[in-house]
Chain A
Amino acid sequence: MLTILFDGVAYGMLLFVLAIGLCVTLGLMNFINLAHGAFAMAGGYLTIVMMNRYGISFYWGLPAAFVFSALLGVVLERTLYVHLYTKSHLDQVLFSIGLVFMATAVVDYFMGANQQTINLPPSLEGRVNFLGASIGVYRIFTIILCGLLTVGLQFVLSKTRFGSRLRAAVDDGRVARGMGIDVTRIFAVTFAVGSGLAGLGGALSTGIISMDPTFPLKYMIYFLIVISVGGSTTITGPFFASLLLGVADVAGKYYVPAVGGFIIYTIMVVVLILRPQGLFTRASR
């Protein structure tokens, strides 16, 4: 019972780190980037290649994944995404699905279609007993790391100058621009950080869920659920949504495997029916 709860929380934390970048892009730039999972995949595969081909430590893989995905994000944002901001949502959806298809095929070409996993460093393997439940060390590691990231993000967003500029740009981009805030630059930086976090999440998830080229499509749905349930204006909303989703998914698959897949979709549809307006449109404060 406690084990499931713990696994669910770890999974949810992971989903949060994976999805938070998409949240910000969506909330900030009103841009539907379905290719967000591709950045996560990039980070995940980078870690796999570093560890399995070059024998570099997992602990180096994580920051490398962050930097790599962030760079990738900046390059794509500056060259491609920037043309899409003013286009319709449908165009954005099609464009990013196109990117996902390309990313999937490219990874397939270079890495093969089969699932890839890593061998965790010995210090992260094994299980410990906690209040009578056996919990994987890696789950604890994930929870602590993601927890720190969440606190850090919350701090940056609410306490720093960059955070207040970002929030200003979220609330009203035009006025923010008028006040002399370089919204374009903030967009680029935020996009990079969001992609980097996705990469980091991808690297972390290699230890829990294996990587294969269909990762962006498979998890795209999860990201969107996190955002649709949690809303995209705060980071606490998606955070709790991720935890809920993670626990519900793990518990559902454990207790009622036959209907496991339904649970998350049903949660999503019900939430969207009950609160269709409050989820994507910004609540007037």
Chain B
Amino acid sequence: MSMTQPPKSDAGAQMLAGARWRWHEGLFWLAAIGLFFLFGDFIPGVPTRLMLLSEIISLGLLALSIDLVLGYAGVVTLGQGAFFGLGSYVAALMAKAGMGAFPLSDPVVGLLAAAAVSGFAGFVTSFLVLRGSDLTRLMVTLGVALILAELANQMRWLTGGADGLHGVIMGPVLGQWDFDLWGRTAYLYSLAVLFVCFWISRRIVNSPFGLSLKAIKGNALRARAIGVPVNARLVAIYTIAAAIAGVAGALLAQTTQSASPDMIAFHRSADALLILVFGGAGYLYGGLIGAGLFRVMQDVIGNITLQYWQFWLGLVLVLLVLFVRGGVIGLIEGMRDRLTRKGDAP
């Protein structure tokens, strides 16, 4: 939706104000580019961590897609991992069939195909989440995810079964940049894809469409009463989120050059949900920040007690639910509010 006419109404002005880019957002993306130079084997002595960072980006993108459904439209889902896994298998299978040649092994073509397939799967299954309570939705999304995971496990001839697909050869990105050993291309490519998806999501949530989603989240009955086509909106956002989750999965498959049942397993969905809640749902950045913290925490705790990191993860979750609203971002906002409240009238 291009803004050819400046909106005159207050609502339009308010929405435009909400959509304006802020300085700390620029800082965030600059920092993401900065990480490339810090961990990209440019400085001697600093370990190369670009593969880990690429994985964080892919996880963050998955969490972002959940944020669209959960944080904005208020639909609880435990099955987003299904679309993630579907996307990763689509990308890996295409690249494998293409043997490293254009067009099948082209990463961008793979991403688009994964988005299309996952989006279609999302569209079909979205009708299942329209009805019922939170618990029904949880169960249906979980059920769909479990069925897909079981399919991936059983269709040995296509997916390689429990072993997964390995030795996937990717073509160069845009026909220019080959994936290298240090993961430099992988990181920049992932970051670029993340930014594009983020930008799209940002446009979506700041549009009138996004506003109607928030209305649905607030009260579906009233939203319907003021003329919001609730079901159509939910189908649309669920489809979009599924497509983005598919892109995230494809990214991971392309950068790790493999796909495995692990990518479609239940714990993906659970992890991504935790990541989102950890970072803060309903901010878009929550998933990205959460993914970074989650993986770093996993690494640090994993180094101390390899086996029992789940315990600390569980503890963090329990404390988060009991004491913190809105995850890390919520925590920061709360502190900022407390600081600025002195000046403002409450």
Contacts and interface: CB of A to CB of B under 8 A. Distances in A.
Interface of A: 26, 32, 80, 83-84, 87-91, 93-95, 97-106, 108-109, 113, 221, 224-225, 228, 258-259, 261-262, 265-266, 268-269, 272-273, 276-277, 279-281
The 7 closest A-B pairs by CB, nearest first: A98-B317, A101-B314, A105-B311, A102-B314, A276-B132, A89-B134, A98-B318
Contacts of B308: 105, 108-109
A265 B146 contact: yes
27 contacts: A32-B134, A89-B133, A90-B134, A94-B274, A94-B317, A94-B321, A95-B318, A97-B314, A97-B317, A98-B314, A98-B315, A98-B321, A99-B318, A102-B311, A102-B315, A104-B310, A105-B308, A105-B311, A108-B308, A221-B142, A265-B143, A269-B140, A272-B128, A272-B132, A276-B136, A277-B131, A280-B135
B317 A90 contact: no
A97 B135 contact: no
B270 interface: yes
Interface in B206-256: none
Nearest to A258: B154
Contacts of B311: 101-102, 105-106, 109
B109 interface: no
A216 to B, nearest CB: 11
B277 interface: yes
Nearest to A93: B138
Given A102-B311, A102-B318, A269-B144, A224 B277 contact: no
Given A95-B321, A106-B311, A259-B154, A269 B136 contact: no
Assign chain B's interface to a size class: 35 or more
Contact of A89 (B135, B153, B313): B135
A94 B140 contact: no
Contact of A97 (B76, B131, B270): B270
A222 to B, nearest CB: 11
B159 to A, nearest CB: 14
Given A98-B315, A105-B310, A280 B136 contact: yes
Given A266-B147, A269-B143, 11 more contacts: A26-B135, A83-B322, A87-B321, A97-B317, A98-B316, A98-B320, A99-B314, A101-B314, A221-B142, A268-B143, A273-B128
A141 to B, nearest CB: 32
Nearest to A92: B321
A279 B147 CA distance: 21
A81 to B, nearest CB: 11
B241 to A, nearest CB: 16
Contacts of A221: 142, 146
Contact of B132 (A104, A108, A280): A280
Contacts of B135: 26, 32, 89, 228, 280
Contacts of A105: 307-311, 314
Interface string B125-164: 0001001111110111011101100100110000000000
B140 A272 contact: yes
Contacts of B143: 265, 268-269, 272
